[in-house]
Amino acid sequence: MNIHVVNDVRQTEINTVEPLVPGASAVEIELAIEKLKSRKSPGIEQNPAEFMKAGGRTIRYENHKLINCIWNKKELPEEW
């Protein structure tokens, strides 16, 4: 979103504003894991949804850290 502010006819000042979008919350990660469908073929990473669901607090916490790290770097790992 760009905001143009004119202070004087001779001078134009342009301010670029990026909206602040927070990373995923722990609750959002937990809800996403709960929505995973069981008994489906695993993806490239070969981790079935059942592993994510059975992993408990540890898996939720590590996924939260990973997703927010990727979000903040604004770059996906090459393997993905």
Model confidence over 29-75: pLDDT tens digits?
899 988 988 888 877 777 788 888 898 888 889 989 998 998 888 88
Give domain status of residue 73, yes or no: yes
pTM of the prediction?
A: 0.60
Q: Give every CB contact of residue 26 below 8 A, 6+ residues apart in sequence.
A: 60, 61, 64
Question: Does pLDDT of 20 surpass 90?
Answer: no
Cα separation, 65 vs 44, in Å, equals 21
The SS3 assignment for 8 reads strand
Give domain status of residue 30, yes or no: yes
Average pLDDT over residues 15-32: 79
Sign of the CA dihedral running 34, 39, 44, 46:
positive
Q: What values do phi and psi take at 41, rounded to 5?
A: -65, 135
Give domain status of residue 6, yes or no: no
Number of structural domains (the chain) is 1
Give domain status of residue 75, yes or no: yes
Of 66, 73, 69, the C-alpha closest to 52 is: 66
Cα separation, 39 vs 6, in Å, equals 60
